[in-house]
């Protein structure tokens, strides 16, 4: 080949390459038509944001600012995807996004789901609703998901986000092999593997946030810290709650309290149901004079016994309400149960509500509310085409209603330096710093436990409340679960049940309530960690993946391991969960004689006896009626109120238990339990250190750290639970 031939060949080859390349690119462009790359902006270390269009009603208007310092402490991280593969498209009415997803990735989160943990291969319509029916219709449908690869995605939208998690296949995507159904056997798939998460929502704007994390827990921490950190409830909120029958009068409540005393049951909060009001539903928010002739005296009488009062209400205003005429100008086009629907996005409406509630309830010492019916079925609540005076879309108002109310009441009380703990039946994005626990009318025990696990994955608190039972066995089993949850509550609004309603198990019910109360120093510290580091107090087992160092994710680059997420997959269970950093809770359900428990990596010990039970394996435990199976991690330090101490003392003597053989240390938190003074340093942290003496015996020491005068716990009695076992 001569020089000129060579050069011609080169030219032809280059021309071929050029044509091939441009065809390929243009083909790509055609295939991706309508999709643009998302533009990411770093907002904090390990947190990025992409904006598409403009949001109307921003859920972040109802959250507190990010805890930037704590996020910085988690450290820098690199962007977890190939940014070029993050795409969006916008039509005049809808915004869609597409984010990459690898075959082995597991996906968790998406709000308060009552089923399963791994969300892959599903489509969810994330709509605030009474639970049930369509996937994603739930009390708190938070559009936040976490990947096993070490990142989380929040789709910030006030609209109902519809999300396809690894299902639906674009023509230009990485398609799996095409299989003939007739001959393909089980290779044919009704939901062919997809290489993306695709989501969309109606509206003119959407924000997408990405949160990095080396473990699922760290992703959750970043999300919670971004939403203002977790909530630290008042101590009384973590005590025993009893909601009385809806028709109860003040005299009935006094009698009920006397019965609690007679039966020797702790009682911290009395919840009044609709009948405390002169009209419900819709609501008057005014006391019913025949049942509560002197509400001030009533709240005082309870307060003298150390009992708080919580009031049920729904947001729909009755014509007979004393706030009716002031709120009416700020209400929507439709009624709910023939009551006015206030537009609480308007400051004027907020003022009416807060002014009324301050004067009629909070000034008397009422501690908080049960915000009911902020979810509701479509047949009850306002339609999507309703209009509101602020001009906000009715769907957006509905999606955010529960969140707005939680925020308003909590921030109102914060100004008075009063912490509150409420109940709410719907929540949404950015709720981790909300002092409210979600509940439901739905009443299935096992799904209640699943909801408890799932709530931890999206900044929510949930109570598997107890109302009634078909047998003494069910009664004690449900009590055991609710005592190991964010709110220990008997909701007897229609059943009129009492903790001693099933005499066969009364002693066991009392024991578990007392155990929960004795665990307050441990639980309160767990909530302090939620508040300061975003680490949830009650956790799904997948949040324990970081327990063993060798399982740490490194941005999904563990490709030399066949299944890098094997340990995580083992922990995808929803019928057990963690309380605080060390206690594994494995509820028993009615009828079960034994149950399987998945122990995360490491050694585990029985809470009650300190006996070794297993090492990172699955075990089967026998059911005993009086005890909920509890297990403690090796080196677990559990501070409890010492036996016989006043369960309501702020600085009781402690029994500090140590489990297993590993030396460890634990930071015990305490403060006044009621105010926000802790934000200005009024708290104490005591380091509890377990080490070995020269002879090898374990010893415990208490080290003064940031002790703030007044919140120091009393004497400590160390208990070596596993020594010699």
**E strands within 285-390?**
308-313, 331-336, 339-342, 368-371
For residues 139 and 601, which CB has a smaller minimum distance to ligand GAL in the complex?
Answer: 139
Residues 6+ apart with CB under 8 A from 380: 336, 337, 373
Confirm or reject binding of residue 321 to ligand GAL (CB under 6 A): no
For residues 273 and 474, which CB has a smaller minimum distance to ligand GAL in the complex?
Answer: 273
> 188 to each of 102, 166, 495, how far by Cα in Å?
20, 16, 51
Confirm or reject binding of residue 145 to ligand GAL (CB under 6 A): no
Q: How far is the CB of 138 from ligand GAL (least distance, A)?
A: 14
Q: How far is the CB of 423 from ligand GAL (least distance, A)?
A: 8
- Based on its alpha-carbon atoms, the radius of gyration of the chain, rounded to whole angstroms, reads 28
Confirm or reject binding of residue 312 to ligand GAL (CB under 6 A): yes
Please choose, from the candidates 354, 452, 360, the residue with its C-alpha nearest in 3D space to the C-alpha of residue 412.
354
Q: How far is the CB of 504 from ligand GAL (least distance, A)?
A: 26
For residues 491 and 533, which CB has a smaller minimum distance to ligand GAL in the complex?
Answer: 491
For residues 441 and 504, which CB has a smaller minimum distance to ligand GAL in the complex?
Answer: 441
Binder of ligand GAL out of 330, 421, 493, 720 (CB under 6 A):
493
**E strands within 275-387?**
308-313, 331-336, 339-342, 368-371
For residues 261 and 441, which CB has a smaller minimum distance to ligand GAL in the complex?
Answer: 441
Please choose, from the candidates 425, 429, 469, 476, the residue with its C-alpha nearest in 3D space to the C-alpha of residue 451.
425
For residues 271 and 580, which CB has a smaller minimum distance to ligand GAL in the complex?
Answer: 271
For residues 307 and 374, which CB has a smaller minimum distance to ligand GAL in the complex?
Answer: 374
For 673: left if phi > 0, alpha if psi spans -120 to 50, otherwise beta; the answer is left
Q: How far is the CB of 439 from ligand GAL (least distance, A)?
A: 7
Q: How far is the CB of 288 from ligand GAL (least distance, A)?
A: 14
Subset of residues 199 to 238 that bind ligand GAL, contact rule: CB under 6 A? none
Q: Do 600 and 571 meet the contact criterion of CB atoms below 8 Å apart?
A: yes
Q: How far is the CB of 699 from ligand GAL (least distance, A)?
A: 49
Q: Could you count the other beta carbons within 10 Å of the beta carbon of residue 503?
A: 8
Residues 6+ apart with CB under 8 A from 653: 641, 642, 645, 713, 714, 715, 716, 717
Q: How far is the CB of 369 from ligand GAL (least distance, A)?
A: 11
Confirm or reject binding of residue 441 to ligand GAL (CB under 6 A): yes
Confirm or reject binding of residue 159 to ligand GAL (CB under 6 A): no
For residues 313 and 606, which CB has a smaller minimum distance to ligand GAL in the complex?
Answer: 313
Q: How far is the CB of 489 from ligand GAL (least distance, A)?
A: 10
For residues 106 and 357, which CB has a smaller minimum distance to ligand GAL in the complex?
Answer: 357
Coil, strand or helix: which one is 360? helix
For residues 281 and 631, which CB has a smaller minimum distance to ligand GAL in the complex?
Answer: 281
In angstroms, the CA 592 to CA 539 distance is 23
Q: How far is the CB of 372 from ligand GAL (least distance, A)?
A: 5
For residues 466 and 668, which CB has a smaller minimum distance to ligand GAL in the complex?
Answer: 466
Residues 6+ apart with CB under 8 A from 614: 599, 603, 604
Token pair for 89: 């498209």
Q: How far is the CB of 491 from ligand GAL (least distance, A)?
A: 5
Q: How far is the CB of 409 from ligand GAL (least distance, A)?
A: 17
Subset of residues 379 to 438 that bind ligand GAL, contact rule: CB under 6 A? none
Binder of ligand GAL out of 58, 129, 207, 273 (CB under 6 A):
273
In angstroms, the CA 637 to CA 660 distance is 10
What does DSSP assign to residue 190?
Answer: S
Subset of residues 668 to 697 that bind ligand GAL, contact rule: CB under 6 A? none
Residues 6+ apart with CB under 8 A from 551: 545, 567, 568, 601
In angstroms, the CA 133 to CA 708 distance is 51
The interface mask with ligand GAL, positions 444-483, x = CB under 6 A, is ----------------------------------------
Site residue total, ligand GAL (CB under 6 A):
9
In angstroms, the CA 653 to CA 474 distance is 34
In angstroms, the CA 703 to CA 687 distance is 5
For residues 373 and 393, which CB has a smaller minimum distance to ligand GAL in the complex?
Answer: 373
For residues 64 and 246, which CB has a smaller minimum distance to ligand GAL in the complex?
Answer: 246
List the alpha helices (DSSP H) in 32-112.
68-74
Q: Do 117 and 108 meet the contact criterion of CB atoms below 8 Å apart?
A: yes
Binder of ligand GAL out of 372, 375, 474, 544 (CB under 6 A):
372
Q: How far is the CB of 510 from ligand GAL (least distance, A)?
A: 24
Q: How far is the CB of 465 from ligand GAL (least distance, A)?
A: 8
The interface mask with ligand GAL, positions 611-630, x = CB under 6 A, is --------------------
Q: How far is the CB of 214 from ligand GAL (least distance, A)?
A: 40
Q: Do 205 and 52 meet the contact criterion of CB atoms below 8 Å apart?
A: yes
Confirm or reject binding of residue 129 to ligand GAL (CB under 6 A): no
Q: How far is the CB of 59 from ligand GAL (least distance, A)?
A: 24
For residues 236 and 276, which CB has a smaller minimum distance to ligand GAL in the complex?
Answer: 276
Q: How far is the CB of 271 from ligand GAL (least distance, A)?
A: 8
What does DSSP assign to residue 175?
Answer: P
For residues 145 and 401, which CB has a smaller minimum distance to ligand GAL in the complex?
Answer: 401
Q: Do 272 and 248 meet the contact criterion of CB atoms below 8 Å apart?
A: yes
In angstroms, the CA 271 to CA 302 distance is 12
Coil, strand or helix: which one is 123? strand
Please choose, from the candidates 207, 210, 222, 220, the residue with its C-alpha nearest in 3D space to the C-alpha of residue 100.
210
Subset of residues 341 to 370 that bind ligand GAL, contact rule: CB under 6 A? none
Please choose, from the candidates 284, 208, 275, 266, the residue with its C-alpha nearest in 3D space to the C-alpha of residue 245.
275
Confirm or reject binding of residue 274 to ligand GAL (CB under 6 A): yes
Token pair for 29: 């462009």
What's the gap between Cα 382 and its chain centre? 27
In angstroms, the CA 198 to CA 208 distance is 12
In angstroms, the CA 614 to CA 35 distance is 52
For residues 58 and 273, which CB has a smaller minimum distance to ligand GAL in the complex?
Answer: 273
Strands 488-491 and 240-243, bridge-based pairing: parallel
Binder of ligand GAL out of 200, 491, 497, 531 (CB under 6 A):
491
Residues that bind ligand GAL (CB under 6 A): 246, 273-274, 312, 372-373, 441, 491, 493
């Amino acid at each position: 080949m001569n020089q000129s031939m060579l050069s011609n060949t080169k030219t032809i080859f280059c021309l071929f390459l050029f044509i091939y390349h441009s065809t390929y690119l243009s083909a790509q462009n055609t295939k991706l038509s309508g999709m643009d790359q998302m533009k990411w902006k770093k907002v904090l270390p390990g947190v990025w944001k992409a904006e598409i269009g403009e949001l109307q009603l921003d859920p972040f208007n109802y959250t507190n600012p990010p805890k930037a310092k704590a996020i910085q402490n988690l450290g820098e991280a690199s962007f977890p995807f190939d940014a070029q593969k993050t795409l969006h498209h916008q039509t005049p009415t809808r915004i869609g996004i597409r984010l990459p997803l690898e075959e082995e990735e597991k996906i968790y989160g998406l709000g308060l789901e009552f089923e399963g943990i791994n969300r892959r291969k599903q489509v969810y319509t994330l709509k605030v609703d009474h639970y049930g029916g369509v996937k994603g219709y739930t009390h708190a449908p938070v559009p936040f998901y976490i990947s096993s690869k070490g990142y989380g995605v929040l789709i910030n939208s006030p609209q109902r986000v519809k999300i396809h998690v690894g299902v639906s296949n674009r023509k230009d995507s990485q398609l799996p092999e095409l299989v003939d159904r007739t001959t393909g056997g089980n290779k044919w798939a009704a939901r062919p593997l997809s290489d993306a998460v695709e989501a969309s929502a109606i509206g003119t704007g959407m924000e997408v946030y990405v949160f990095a994390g080396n473990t699922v827990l760290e992703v959750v921490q970043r999300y919670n810290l971004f939403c203002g950190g977790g909530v630290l409830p008042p101590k009384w909120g973590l005590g025993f709650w009893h909601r009385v029958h809806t028709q109860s009068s003040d005299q009935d409540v006094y009698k009920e309290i006397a019965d609690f005393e007679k039966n020797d049951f702790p009682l911290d909060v009395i919840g009044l149901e609709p009948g405390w009001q002169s009209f419900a539903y819709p609501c008057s928010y005014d006391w019913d004079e025949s049942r509560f002739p002197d509400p001030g005296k009533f709240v005082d009488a309870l307060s003298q016994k150390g009992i708080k009062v919580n009031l049920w209400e729904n947001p729909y205003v009755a014509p007979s309400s004393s706030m009716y005429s002031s709120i009416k100008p700020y209400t929507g086009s439709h009624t709910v149960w023939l009551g006015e629907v206030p537009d609480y996005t308007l400051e004027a409406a907020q003022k009416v509500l807060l002014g009324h509630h301050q004067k009629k309830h909070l000034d008397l010492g009422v501690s908080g509310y049960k915000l009911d019916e902020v979810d509701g079925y479509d047949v009850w609540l306002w339609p999507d085409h309703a209009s509101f005076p602020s001009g906000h879309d009715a769907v957006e108002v509905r999606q955010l209603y529960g969140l707005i109310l939680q925020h308003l009441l909590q921030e109102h009380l914060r100004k008075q330096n009063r912490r509150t703990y409420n109940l709410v039946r719907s929540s949404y994005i950015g709720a981790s710093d909300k002092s409210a626990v979600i509940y439901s009318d739905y009443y299935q025990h096992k799904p209640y436990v699943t909801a408890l696990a799932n709530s931890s994955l999206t900044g929510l608190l949930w109570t598997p409340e107890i109302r009634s039972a078909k047998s003494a066995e069910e009664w004690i089993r449900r009590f055991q679960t609710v005592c190991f949850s964010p709110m220990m509550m008997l909701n007897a609004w229609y059943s009129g049940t009492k903790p001693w309603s099933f005499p066969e198990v009364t002693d066991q019910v009392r024991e578990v309530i007392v155990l929960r109360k004795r665990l307050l120093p441990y639980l309160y510290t767990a909530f302090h960690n939620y508040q300061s580091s975003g680490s949830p107090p009650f956790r799904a087992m997948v949040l324990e993946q970081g327990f063993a160092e060798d399982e740490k994710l490194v941005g999904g680059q563990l490709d030399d391991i066949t299944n890098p997420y094997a340990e995580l997959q083992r922990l995808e269970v929803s019928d057990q969960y963690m309380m605080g950093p060390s206690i594994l809770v494995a509820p028993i359900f009615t009828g079960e004689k034994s149950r399987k428990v998945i122990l995360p990596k490491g050694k585990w010990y029985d809470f009650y006896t300190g006996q070794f039970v297993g090492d990172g394996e699955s075990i089967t435990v026998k059911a005993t009626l009086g005890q909920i199976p509890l297990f403690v991690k090796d080196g677990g330090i559990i501070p409890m109120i010492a036996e016989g101490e006043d369960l309501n003392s702020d600085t009781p003597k402690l029994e500090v238990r140590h489990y297993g053989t590993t030396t460890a240390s634990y930071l015990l938190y305490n403060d006044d339990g009621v105010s926000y003074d802790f934000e200005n340093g009024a708290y104490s942290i005591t380091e509890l250190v377990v080490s070995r003496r020269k002879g090898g015996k374990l010893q415990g020491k208490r080290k003064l750290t940031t002790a703030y005068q007044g919140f120091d716990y009393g004497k400590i009695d160390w208990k070596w639970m596993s020594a010699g076992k």
